[in-house]
Every structure is written in C-alpha cells, then in structure tokens.
Amino acid sequence: MPPTVLLSDKIESVCPETLKKAGIAVVEKSGLSPSDLEKEIGQYDGLVVRSATTVTRGVLEKGKAGALKIVGRAGAGLDNIDGVAAQELGIKVVNTPGLNANAVAELTVALAIVLARKLDLAFSSTKAGRWEKKNLVGTELSGKVIGLVGFGYVGRLVAKKAVGLDMTVWAYDPFLKPETLAQSQATAKTLDEIWTGADYVSLHLPKTPETVNLVNEAVIAKLKKGAILLNCARGGLVDEKALYQALKSGHLAGAALDVFATEPPADNPLLTLDNFVATPHVGASTLEAQLNVAEEVARLLVDFLKPGA
C-alpha cells in the first residue's frame, strides 16, 4: 500500500501533483474542525496544513494511534500545530521557512508607505469624489529609522528594502550574528533602544509564550511619540487594546496589522481609526510564495515517506 497524505487546507495544485508523481496517494478535505480531523486522521501517513487547520494534541494522538508519521506546514509559522505533543508522540513536523519571506517583506514595506503617505485615506476620499490634497500631507521614509524586532528571513529582506529607501536599519534578535548584520547594513540594538528610538517598529517574530503581547501597554508607552508600528508576523504579539489607546491619543502616528489576536477581527475598535491600516492576513498571499511553499512542503513529505523505498 502506498503512503497516503491528507491535505486539510486549500493549497496550490503543485503540492498534490508532486506527491502523486512520487507514488503517494492524496486526499483533499479542507475546512475540517479539530474534532472532524480527529475522526479522519488515523488513516493517513502524512498531513499537510496551511494556517487554517489547527493540529491539536487530540488530533496528533488520534493520528499516532493510526498511521500518522509526519505533519507538514506550507509556510513558516508553527503556532497552529502542537509541537510539544508532536515531539512527545514521535511525529515529525516540517515547515517551509523563508520561501514566502519576500512576500511578507514587501507587504511590510508597502504598509509603511501607506501610513507615511496616508494612501488609504487618499484612495477612499478620491474614489468618493473628494479632492482632499491639503489634508493628506504625509511624510517620507527616507532618513527615518526602522527598528526590526526579529531578524530572520523576513527581517533581513525588510532591511534590504529599507536600505534601498535610504532608511537607517536597527535590528534586534537574540540569535543575531555579526556577519548577518554586515551583509544587511543593519546596526544591532537592544530592544529598549528600538522601542525608544525608532521611527518605525516592525515585528518579525514567532508567536511563543514569551512573545505573546510583547508589545504591551508599558512598551507602547516607551515608543517614540509619532512612531509607527507594523506587524506582519503573528497575531497576539501586540496588545491591541493598548495599541488602540495609543493611536487614539496620538502617541503613535499610525499602525498597520496584517495579523490579529482573533481572526477575523470582528468589532475590533482599531478598525474605526483613521491612523490604523489593516489587511486580512495576506502577508504570504502572492502567487510566487504560494507556489514555493506548496512545492517545498510536498518535497519534504516525499523525502520523509520515501514511497517505494
């Protein structure tokens, strides 16, 4: 019997095609709840998810009792997979870091430009028939300091693009290497230096118990008056209530989130503010990024399951 893989989220066709070419049977069932997935998972050798499926301990235990050997995440983040349970149960977890990094980096810079030039307000007012040129005076990114909290694949690409815009780049990462800094023309700074001195603060961190609400009320109070906060990393890194107060009071000039603690962010007061920009978790949503992660996660499962070996 060939190994069988369940694709529980919608994914580019290159993923199932690659698996099938390698002799792996594929079943595609998206939209399964954790309880539905628990009922299904025992019959599969592998599981491929994106961000919609939550792989709980219960799912992994049911999978281990059956045939499950590997879970592949088409993307970098692993916060929707119980990694501790997977390790305890001996189930391999793989992901595809870096392959959608450029898409996220481009969105980060785009949102910074939108806020600096008030483009969201310019778009909506002009389309509504208003000509509000005098009310839409913005600022330039050139000459500003951007502080990157986290300097992995995405952070380094943001740095490269920011340098191209004549920005000064500061970076904080506990695993920062001198050669990485040299290649990216960034300067190492402490978190406090970034909080208090950067004109733009951009988050590029995983969501862990240590980073949940990292940007809390106390940190937001430290941010430079008139600073702009960007988060295209993971929801839950920012205390959204504290951010709302800082934007409403004018302490921060603006903020942009592609990710929220609760998605979709129904009735979130941030959405009522003119100096707040939001996108619906589309950081990795480019044709190029989706093809890259879909192909790579399939390759990882093929290498692990080794059909016909």
> Residue 205, CB half-sphere, CA atoms under 13 Å: how many?
28
Helix (H, G, I), strand (E, B), or coil: what is residue 212? Answer: coil
Contacts of residue 123, Cβ cutoff 8 Å, sequence gap at least 6 = none
Phi-psi region of 24 (alpha: psi -120 to 50; beta: other; left: phi over 0): beta
Contacts of residue 155, Cβ cutoff 8 Å, sequence gap at least 6 = 148, 171, 173, 202, 204
Residue 104 contacts residue 286 (beta carbons within 8 Å): no
Q: Which two tokens stand for residue 128?
A: 């509504």
Q: Which residues are catalytic?
A: 234, 263, 281
Residues 231, 232, 236, 237, CA torsion sign: negative
What are the contacts of 259-266 at 24+ separation with CB within 8 A?
Answer: 259/231, 259/232, 259/233, 259/234, 259/235, 259/283, 260/235, 261/235, 261/236, 262/235, 263/235
Helix (H, G, I), strand (E, B), or coil: what is residue 198? Answer: coil
Q: Give the other-Cβ count within 10 Å of 69's Cβ.
A: 18
